[in-house]
């Protein structure tokens, strides 16, 4: 399968289609997903990524994600973005949080 097609499918699968706009970012995503470094992303590699994400949300490790666990993750992200602690996230706070997330994940390969 053509590498570009594989990258496109993987990005869409993981909700990262915006990464395709930037070739360097797409390469980083591809390299992150291609865990065995064989130049292609297998279904197993995509599933492993989903498994990792699931495990991060499943706080009590019971193999299920409750609405409380799912909501807690969202609340944690919101609290981190709400830097002044007023219960609202301004455009500036949102942009800063997004930039911080991008910086944290840009070199993860």
pLDDT band at 60 (very low <50, low <70, confident <90, very high): very high
Q: Write down the domain spans for the chain.
A: 1-57, 61-109
What mean pLDDT is predicted for residues 63-77?
A: 88
The answer to whether 47 touches 38, Cβ cutoff 8 Å, is: no
Reading the block at residue 10, the tokens are 């993987």
What mean pLDDT is predicted for residues 24-32?
A: 86
pLDDT (0 to 100) of residue 35: 92
pLDDT (0 to 100) of residue 1: 47
The answer to whether 46 touches 33, Cβ cutoff 8 Å, is: yes
- Rounded to whole angstroms, the Cα distance separating 55 from 65 reads 9
What mean pLDDT is predicted for residues 85-97?
A: 90
pTM of the entire structure? Answer: 0.49
């Amino acid at each position: 399968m053509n590498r570009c097609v594989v990258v496109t499918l993987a990005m869409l699968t993981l909700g990262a289609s915006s990464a395709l706009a930037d070739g360097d970012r797409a390469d980083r995503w591809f390299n992150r997903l291609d865990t065995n470094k064989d130049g292609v992303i297998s279904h197993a590699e995509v599933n492993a990524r989903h498994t990792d994400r699931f495990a991060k949300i499943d706080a009590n490790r019971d193999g299920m994600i409750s609405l409380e666990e799912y909501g807690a993750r969202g609340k944690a992200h919101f609290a981190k973005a709400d830097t002044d602690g007023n219960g609202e996230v301004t455009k500036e706070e949102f942009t800063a949080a997004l930039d911080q997330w991008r910086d944290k994940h840009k070199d993860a390969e």
